[in-house]
């Protein structure tokens, strides 16, 4: 499959998830520059590829955005999302301020991030570096700095841009990726 085919397939899979669509549409109203990111998108696709249902309820959903002028809107956005979707755990992060609290596994500070794409390019796995929103025209807007190939080809690949392999490995074990998704392969 080509990258364009993966993109079309990705959008088709997302559109087939009524709860995820509801979340994306609400998020577009609450905070237009915010994206649903990471695990929920990865798992929706992997579940589809494993011919399984994926239940979004009672899971954690990451919401990210980049706004260097608004350092305190995370809590308000999280409260709105919790009110609308009370059975979901929300992790809302303004990527403009991550450098103020995030430390590497060696305790070092990171440089300030410049955008959502910059933030995603630092995430531990290539297949997790995804962010999706519905824009003001009602169209999907996907940011995937590593593309969708690893996601659709079921490849779990370490992204060395920020975290060490040891952190990636610990994450892989704690999340039990290979046990939960039997067709997934670990790529070096």
Q: How far apart are alpha carbons 101 and 86 in whole angstroms?
A: 27
- For the chain, the domains span 3-187
How high is the pLDDT of residue 57?
A: 82
Q: Which pairs count as long-range contacts for 103-107, CB under 8 Å and 24+ apart, including other chains?
A: 104/162, 104/163, 104/164, 105/163, 105/164, 105/166, 105/167
Question: Which residues have a Cβ under 8 Å from the Cβ of 9 and sit 6 or more positions away?
Answer: 1, 152
User: Do 63 and 35 contact (CB within 8 A), yes or no?
Assistant: yes
How high is the pLDDT of residue 21?
A: 98
Q: What is the pLDDT along the chain (188 residues), one digit of tens a residue?
A: 667 899 999 999 999 999 999 999 999 999 999 999 999 999 999 999 999 999 888 789 999 999 988 778 899 999 999 999 999 999 999 998 866 656 667 777 868 778 999 999 989 999 999 999 999 999 999 999 999 999 999 999 998 887 889 989 998 999 999 999 999 999 97
Q: How far apart are alpha carbons 96 and 30 in whole angstroms?
A: 18
Q: How far apart are alpha carbons 130 and 164 in whole angstroms?
A: 20
- Closest listed residue to residue 43, CA positions, set 133, 125, 98: 125
Q: How far apart are alpha carbons 39 and 65 in whole angstroms?
A: 16
Query: What stretches of the chain adopt beta strand conformation (E)?
Result: 35-37, 60-65, 89-94, 131-134, 140-143, 155-157, 185-187
Q: How far apart are alpha carbons 9 and 101 in whole angstroms?
A: 36
User: Do 98 and 165 contact (CB within 8 A), yes or no?
Assistant: no
- Closest listed residue to residue 69, CA positions, set 92, 98, 94: 94
User: Do 35 and 132 contact (CB within 8 A), yes or no?
Assistant: yes
How high is the pLDDT of residue 114?
A: 81
How high is the pLDDT of residue 17?
A: 96
């Amino acid at each position: 499959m080509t990258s364009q085919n993966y993109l079309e397939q990705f959008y088709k899979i997302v559109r087939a998830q009524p709860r995820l669509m509801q979340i994306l549409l609400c998020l577009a109203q609450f905070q237009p520059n915010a994206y649903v990111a990471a695990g929920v998108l990865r798992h929706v696709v992997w579940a589809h590829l494993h011919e399984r249902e994926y239940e979004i309820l009672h899971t954690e959903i990451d919401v990210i955005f980049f706004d260097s002028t608004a350092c305190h809107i995370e809590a308000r956005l999280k409260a709105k999302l919790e009110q609308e979707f009370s059975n979901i755990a929300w992790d809302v992060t303004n990527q403009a301020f991550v450098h103020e609290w995030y430390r590497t596994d060696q305790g070092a500070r990171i440089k300030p991030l410049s955008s959502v794409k910059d933030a995603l390019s630092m995430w531990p796995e290539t297949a997790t570096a995804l962010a999706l929103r519905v824009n003001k025209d009602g169209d999907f807007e996907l940011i995937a700095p590593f593309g969708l190939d690893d996601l659709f080809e079921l490849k779990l690949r370490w992204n060395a841009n920020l975290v060490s392999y040891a952190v990636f490995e610990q994450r892989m074990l704690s999340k039990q990726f290979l046990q939960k998704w039997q067709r997934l392969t670990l790529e070096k």
